[in-house]
């Protein structure tokens, strides 16, 4: 949209195809470059291989390894600066707090609207600059 802005790459790690599609499409429409991963393995691989500006991470990946992905990103010096927005399945406070403790930048609670998604992403990215 804004010409002077460099195109940012956002990695979405989400196992639910339709949620993943939705997030990707909204952010594409917002002018971001999107990478999709349907599981943690693929997500970790991509974040290591491709320089990304932001990671959207579903904490409730099968076998609970969304948390492991978060831990891995935050524990590797080269990756730890990448902001991570987590999807939490519930409105419960404790997983959210735990995510913040582990280094998450922000969180989004499902179900979420297109507006909420793009605003949160925009806010996090502008703050990073």
List interacting residues with another protein (CB under 8 A).
15-19, 22-23, 25-26, 29, 38, 60, 62, 89-90, 110-115, 117
| CA dist., res. 102 & res. 113, Å (int) | 26
User: Measured from the CB of residue 104, what is the shortest distance to another protein in angstroms?
Assistant: 19
In the bound state with another protein, the residue whose beta carbon lies nearer, of 7 and 91, is: 91
User: Measured from the CB of residue 125, what is the shortest distance to another protein in angstroms?
Assistant: 19
User: Measured from the CB of residue 105, what is the shortest distance to another protein in angstroms?
Assistant: 21
In the bound state with another protein, the residue whose beta carbon lies nearer, of 61 and 82, is: 61
Q: What is the DSSP string of 26-46?
A: HHHHTT-EEEEESSHHHHHHH
Give the number of residues written for the chain: 129
Q: At what angle do helices 17-29 and 114-128 cross, to 10 degrees?
A: 60
Q: What are phi and psi of 10, to 5 degrees?
A: -120, 130
| CA dist., res. 54 & res. 34, Å (int) | 10
In the bound state with another protein, the residue whose beta carbon lies nearer, of 42 and 112, is: 112
In the bound state with another protein, the residue whose beta carbon lies nearer, of 48 and 116, is: 116
């Amino acid at each position: 949209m804004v010409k002077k802005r460099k195109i940012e790459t956002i990695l979405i790690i989400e196992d639910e195809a339709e949620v993943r599609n939705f997030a990707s499409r909204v952010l594409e429409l917002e002018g971001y470059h999107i990478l999709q991963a349907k599981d943690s393995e693929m997500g970790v691989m991509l974040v290591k291989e491709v320089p990304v500006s932001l990671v959207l991470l579903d904490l409730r990946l099968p076998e609970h390894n969304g948390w492991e992905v978060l831990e891995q990103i935050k524990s590797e010096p080269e990756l730890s600066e990448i902001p991570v927005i987590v999807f939490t399945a519930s409105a419960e406070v404790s997983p959210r707090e735990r995510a913040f403790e582990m280094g998450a930048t922000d969180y989004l609670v499902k179900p979420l609207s297109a507006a909420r998604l793009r605003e949160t992403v925009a806010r996090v990215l502008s703050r990073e600059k």
